[in-house]
Structure 1
């Protein structure tokens, strides 16, 4: 963490960091099982060695469970015929990842960072989510996934920011997302707004749903790493959602998500855990694979443990059901590992 502004940076699986800092900045380094250390920047390169933390008996159990989770997830993805990326941030500090710093296409997961950009734009312009967006019939794509269009028909010409966000986040409506994206100024503006909300993260909004409708491969322009997305959800769950009603409304929508219930949410159906998430679904490739199946979000367990999780599955050789089950199985592994921890 950079003390001057509180911004956090997450290392990759090998422990390497890239941190923007100037001489005189103070950086706090921490890692599970070690004693955190604050170091003043004097040189361009820092080689940081943290001392091993000697905890009490109960804390040993927790540290061991984190290490066991890392090993179990690594083993789980090892022989899968797909490119899988996982990142888990537990209680805002302990991080587990597999291919966490690799690029993945977000697909409709991009509608979550887009929603944060929209909330920022609305608040910055002295508006509320109850204000409306007017649009013409040419703004709506007819042959795309749009339960909103199916319900209201082509006579739809106006809708509030809140309604469009609900359609975009809860139902993953493509037309709703594009109307919001256009209103805030397009992909470049949305990416800039996202940085204003959450700081520098390895997330780019580079294509609209219309772009992806015309050429499915432009979906790769909407990209993120698992670590970046898990960090975004962590910052949202712990701080951003409390900034304004616009942001808090988004958390309600995420917890009402109706898509991909056979993915991250599957292990929690019979529990009272709180699950806020956003899914993404890709397209069949010429090689007979699925380009991407994703699910990312935050989980509040009944025992008080909170964590964020991002799972991206790209170039899957399995069908939709089997690929979704990979995400559900990963979610269950994490859940079972943490249900006894605090």
Structure 2
């Protein structure tokens, strides 16, 4: 082999090695992430599913299936439908909806009822969304269901957005009358995270309504020990939590959190963690979600 051909061979080999080495390291990091998430999921007496968008066209899933009860996570789906309805009607989120005393049901989580139990007033759609999404208020949720046309209308909307296996069949009042109906509202981690990702990219709402929902989710007060629980102090997370009922044997139907995590360098990513049929207590479920969230965060920081 001539000196020129030898030099060309070595140069080409060096280029190929230089290109393949980062790809190999990235594949190894991804494999380690998947292995660690599976270990965390297997550490509890529950079914744990997760999904995260790692990059363009690259989504990692764990125990993905379409029958995870959403609990209050569906209030994110509802918010998309409500804001889309306002946009189509050329209304702003300042549009006001009546709140009757009969809408403020007892024996359900409702900061709105606790603050203003008398009824007979109106609130803006934006304020009701704050109660429903950021505070997970069940009465506010059902007021918004009534405005948008019920659970079936929300299901139709998110299916048009690509969540073709997501089911939304019960409002909060129905679920509180019959806890078995919480299984009427289900999704998969993958469909939830893909919907979040479309929202993160600004593909499902106009700028004003999209910004409103993002700010509302960032202000979420529920579940500080879930997706945010093990992240560095000050990390911004726009998220929606959900907690299901427990049956007579103490098994929790759901303990969930989905959200968008903002990194210090300006990047962000979409992540969903669902826990179904859990024999653990609430604190243990939340800790698993937090540990999964931190492991994913560390993966992004190391890239």
TM-score (norm 1): 0.79
Aligned counterpart, 1:288: 250
Aligned counterpart, 2:278: 316
Secondary structure of the equivalent of 2:302? coil
TM-score (norm 2): 0.89
1:179 matched to 2:122: no
Q: CA RMSD in A?
A: 1.9
Could you list the runs of 5+ residues in structure 1 that have no partner in the other structure?
Answer: 1-53
Aligned counterpart, 1:224: 187
What is the correspondence of 1:87-166 to structure 2 with a 5 Å cutoff? 87-166=51-130
1:248 matched to 2:235: no
Higher-RCO chain (CA-CA 8 Å, sequence separation at least 6)? 2
Write the distance in 2 (CA, Å) between the matches of 1:102 and 1:242: 25
Write the distance in 2 (CA, Å) between the matches of 1:320 and 1:68: 28
Residues 184-218 of structure 1, C-alpha deviations (whole Å, 9 max, x = no match): 1111112122234x234322221100101111111
Deviation at 1:111, TM superposition (A): 0.2
Aligned length: 287
**Alignment equivalent of 2:162, drawn from 199, 204, 210:** 199
Secondary structure of the equivalent of 2:255? strand
**Alignment equivalent of 1:72, drawn from 29, 36, 39:** 36
Deviation at 1:168, TM superposition (A): 0.6
Which one has the largest radius of gyration? 2
Write the distance in 2 (CA, Å) between the matches of 1:132 and 1:322: 40
1:331 matched to 2:266: no
Write the distance in 1 (CA, Å) between the matches of 2:130 and 2:294: 27
Q: Please say if residues 240 and 258 of structure 2, whose CA atoms lie closer than 8 Å, have aligned partners that are also in contact.
A: yes
Deviation at 1:269, TM superposition (A): 4.6
Which structure has the highest helix share of the two? 2
Write the distance in 2 (CA, Å) between the matches of 1:259 and 1:269: 18
Q: Please say if residues 40 and 288 of structure 2, whose CA atoms lie closer than 8 Å, have aligned partners that are also in contact.
A: no
Deviation at 1:90, TM superposition (A): 1.6
Deviation at 1:285, TM superposition (A): 1.1
